[in-house]
Amino acid sequence: MPLPRLRILPPLMAGLLACSGHSSSPEASPGVAPSTVTLSPTEQLGRSLFFDRNLSEPPGQACASCHDPRAGWTGPSSTVNAHAVVYEGAVVGRFGNRKPPSAAYATQSPLFHLLDRQGSFEGGAFWDGRATGERLGNAAAGQAQGPFLNPAEQNNANAAAVVAKVCGAPYAPAFRALLGGDICDGAHVERAYDGIARAIAAYEGSREVNAFSSRYDAYLAGRASLSAQELEGLNLFEGRAKCARCHPNRPGPQGEPPLFTDYTYDNLGVPRNPESPWYTQTESNPLGAAWVDNGLGAFLATRPDFRSYARGNLGLHKVPSLRNVDKRPRPDFVKAYGHNGYFKSLESIVHFYNTRDVLPVCLPGSPNTPGTDCWPAPEVGLNVNEEELGNLGLSEAEEAALVAFLRTLSDGYLEP
């Protein structure tokens, strides 16, 4: 388990989005290459499900369509990431409301629960925590059931439709072997659908997805070194930049590798992303451009047991792992950051953390440049974390050192 964080204010959020399943771009999700590690039978079944493009309606969208290993298990299109950020679902023209988070290092998230009397929450899945894991005992498995039935994602009519597709797939014999020979007879849809979700979660928890193979891991093991700039960034990460408070970077008490997230929730004061196509989705978003992403607070408002905590959590989103935060298929590939992808580079989001409360608020119609002369107002002005970011007092060189350190967290480091 990660080390406990030093936290004072309420925490941050995460959620899975619509993803393009019919792109002809060379950046579209990869085919099923041979596994890079030895997988258990359940993990191998989950892998087959994760990369299967036939499990959407119409066919064409797999889990990997939004969670590409080449991009750190998140959005695979540089063009989409640079602008709209949210991905088109299996149905042409349908989009969700947030960017796809990484599928890696997510299975360690505990069941969603109230963390303290101040109304902080921990665990669950999706940006807003709504996949609590309460029914299946596994937040990642609960999350895996969502996209299949989401009209903005894989768009299946019901669980039975998904099960029927799996039972007709080439890997159906493995499915039957693991869940019982009668699993496809139509009388066990709930058990079959739960088995599908658990298999996907098993794969997402495998060493293929959670490789722990970054240069930083090698550094912790004494097998690699960090440059002077990267070491400066590490010192800032643990010190004045306050990053380690939410993204613990030290091994756990039993030597467990750090996960770089505490699985809590926070409102960073991220501006709204005006390029999101969600604002045009009038059928699913009748508020149009007036819609506000209230994150965790909006989910809590749907739960009678947690409703009293909703206002204090408006605008909070799940703290993502920083592992693979810079992993990309090529140097010029654009990655997006923040729950809505407002930031388009590590440099820009680090600069935001450093100067959010230093630069003035951008005025509508002004010629000022966000990030240089001003920052747009937060999408949700309540509950903004002012204790751990906003005015860190870092120099330009120190921002660059932080970015250099973050770039050591990409899996796939080849030791000399």
Give residue-wise pLDDT tens across range 397-416: 999 999 999 999 999 999 88
What would the pLDDT profile of 19-76 be if each residue is shown by its tens digit?
434 443 334 445 567 778 999 999 999 999 999 999 999 999 999 999 999 999 999 9
What would the pLDDT profile of 267-314 be if each residue is shown by its tens digit?
999 999 999 999 999 999 999 999 999 999 999 999 999 999 999 999
Give the pLDDT of residue 364: 85
What would the pLDDT profile of 168-201 be if each residue is shown by its tens digit?
999 999 999 999 999 999 999 999 999 999 999 9
Q: Residue 240 has which token pair?
A: 């004045």
Bridge partners, residue 295, by sequence: 316
Give the pLDDT of residue 34: 76
Domain boundaries, the chain: 41-409
What would the pLDDT profile of 194-247 be if each residue is shown by its tens digit?
999 999 999 999 999 999 999 999 999 999 999 999 999 999 999 999 999 999
What would the pLDDT profile of 7-27 be if each residue is shown by its tens digit?
222 222 233 333 434 443 334
Domain formed by 41-409, architecture: Orthogonal Bundle (1.10)
Q: Mean pLDDT of all residues in the chain?
A: 92
Give the pLDDT of residue 5: 31
Q: Average pLDDT of 104-127? A: 97
